[in-house]
């Protein structure tokens, strides 16, 4: 259990890497520079504003949706927890701590991103 918690703490610290990548890439301007996605630059008006506003949020939510699946796998296969309630308690506890970490990392990464771009 201690090893799994340690690895998940390391994962929470390294969570800033995909978080920062999502914030940097998820805009129409950044996506249009990627080969094969130049058509995104042709989107204009309200659709571009909608895409710029919601793409980073939706991509981060998609990544966050994978966390309970990973935590459940760790609890059942690595830690070998047997009861469903024990697995769910482990998943929810870790998910809560990850959510707290995500809030702080989002704030920190956003602050750094905007100070670098200015």
Residue 68 has what pLDDT?
93
Q: What confidence tens digit (pLDDT) does each residue in 18-72 have?
A: 877 887 777 777 777 878 777 877 777 778 778 888 888 888 888 889 989 999 9
pTM for the whole structure? 0.69
Pair of tokens at residue 65:
């949706």
Gyration radius (Cα) of the chain, Å: 18
Distance between CA atoms of residues 31 and 3, nearest Å: 38
Q: Where are the alpha helices (DSSP H) in 26-83?
A: 28-31, 46-65, 67-73
Q: What confidence tens digit (pLDDT) does each residue in 50-65 have?
A: 888 888 888 888 888 9
Tell which residue, 60, 54, 53, 27, has the closest CA to residue 41. Answer: 27
Distance between CA atoms of residues 105 and 102, nearest Å: 5
For residue 7, the tally of other CB atoms under 10 A from its CB is 12
Beta carbons of 56 and 26 less than 8 angstroms apart: yes
């Amino acid at each position: 259990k201690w090893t799994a918690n340690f690895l998940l703490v390391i994962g929470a610290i390294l969570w800033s890497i995909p978080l920062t990548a999502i914030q940097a890439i998820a805009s129409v301007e950044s996506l249009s520079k990627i080969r094969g996605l130049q058509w995104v630059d042709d989107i204009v008006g309200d659709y571009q504003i909608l895409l710029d506003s919601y793409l980073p949020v939706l991509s981060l939510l998609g990544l966050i949706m994978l966390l309970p699946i990973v935590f459940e796998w760790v609890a059942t296969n690595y830690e070998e927890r047997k009861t469903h309630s024990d697995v769910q308690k482990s998943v929810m506890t870790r998910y809560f701590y990850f959510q707290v970490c995500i809030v702080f990392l989002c704030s920190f990464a956003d602050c750094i991103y905007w100070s670098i771009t200015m």
